[in-house]
Amino acid sequence: MRLFGIWLFHVLGRRYIGIFLDPVLACNLRCKMCYFSDENKRKSYKGIIKYDDIEIIAEKLFHRALKLQIGCGAEPTVYPDWIQIVALGKKMKVPYISLVTNGNRVTKEQLIQAIDNGLDEITISVHGLTQATYESMMTNSNYALFCNLLTCIAEIKIKRPSFKLRINYTVNKDNMDELSQIWDVVGDKMDILQIRPVQKLGNTEYNDFDLDFISEKYETVLSPVVEECRKRKITCIAPDKANLGALKKTTDKNREIENATYCYVSPQGCWQDDFDYHKDSFESYSSKRKVAWHLFSGIFKHINSEEINVTRKMNYNIFNYL
């Protein structure tokens, strides 16, 4: 049924894609679980999109976007015009605009300006909740800057309560126990807590990717955090024991949904390998590649197949307080 809905939105010209934009492939940190800690990967992972080109991309794609996420695999705040991208998304009436950042470069003044220009959410990547773990896992980071940003957000949310704070906590066996301290560090400032299992992203400095630790500590660490989120009316997005295996398997149907709705844009490519945003529009490219037909045929191809509810990019349950 989800493929049918996507097909229907496609043919009716409605918004249904998520645009995940890395305007620059660079980062101010060298987090140990990230490929920016891999020197060889870092050398190949570079480039910047000129703002004039981002305006062209926006004209071609943003009118079909339900969400614009600025920052995906790199740090967007090293891009000088990141706030202008927020304003551009708002101008194109994208319903939801988020910024994913480590937060060490974001000032209160910048954040207020971004919110005034249409930013709906900030997602802060966190790999530890004590200064020692935070600064060890997130090489070159400053724990004081992280805490200061949380204070600024709390002050901003008093006047702008609809603005959302999401904490993206990547767990490994060395930082999972610190989750219980999140209330002392972040408290009720956050609207969403996303707990992500560590994944292999290349020859990273951190190299223990065994996920057994999650199952072993699920009842003692993870479940209490999920329950506390419920009590505090905080949405918690976290893996459970049943869907941890989705990191190792996906169905063809999951891939088709993901491919149809996921639009990644970076200095190394825009949406599809053969999409030329100087020449093509979303509609002309879709017509040329018969996207509507492929979506429609996919509905019947998998109509009797068993469908799982998660993929590598969505390996979570949503524990909502509502």
User: What is the predicted pLDDT for the residue at 257?
Assistant: 78
Class at the top of the CATH hierarchy for domain 2-319: alpha beta
Give the model's pLDDT for residue 202: 85
- Given this model, what pLDDT does residue 249 score? 52
Which pLDDT score is estimated for 314? 40
Both structure tokens of 177 = 């126990």
CA angle, residues 246, 244, 265, in degrees to nearest 5: 55
pLDDT at residue 259 in the model: 84
In terms of phi and psi (left: phi > 0; alpha: psi -120 to 50; beta: otherwise), the region of 118 is left
The neighbour count for residue 260, using CB atoms within 10 Å, is 20
User: Helices H, strands E: what count in the chain?
Assistant: 13, 12
> What's this model's pTM, rounded to 2 decimal places?
0.90
Instruction: Please report the pLDDT score of residue 299 as a whole number.
Output: 82
Q: DSSP secondary-structure letter at 187? A: G
What is the C-alpha to C-alpha distance for residues 297 and 91, in angstroms, rounded to an integer?
Answer: 35
Q: Which of 258, 36, 248 is nearest to 125 (CA)?
A: 36
Residue 215's alpha-carbon distances to 3, 6, 222, in angstroms, are 32, 35, 9
Give pLDDT tens digits along the chain (322 positions): 688 999 999 999 999 999 999 999 999 999 999 999 988 888 888 899 999 999 999 999 999 999 999 999 999 999 999 999 999 999 999 999 999 999 999 999 999 999 999 999 999 999 999 999 999 999 999 999 999 999 999 999 999 999 999 999 999 999 999 999 999 999 888 999 999 999 988 889 999 998 888 888 999 999 999 999 999 999 999 987 766 655 555 455 557 778 889 999 999 999 999 999 999 999 999 999 999 998 998 887 755 544 444 444 444 556 665 4
pLDDT at position 308, please?
44
Which residue in 83, 97, 116, 100 sits closest to 22, CA to CA? 100
Each domain of the chain, given as residue ranges in start order, spans 2-319
137-140 contact pairs (CB < 8 A, 24+): 137/31, 137/32, 137/33, 137/174, 137/175, 137/206, 138/29, 138/31, 138/32, 138/102, 139/29, 139/30, 139/31, 139/32, 139/37, 139/205, 140/28, 140/29, 140/30
Res 319: pLDDT: 62
- Nearest Cα to Cα of residue 211 among 250, 181, 238, 186: 238
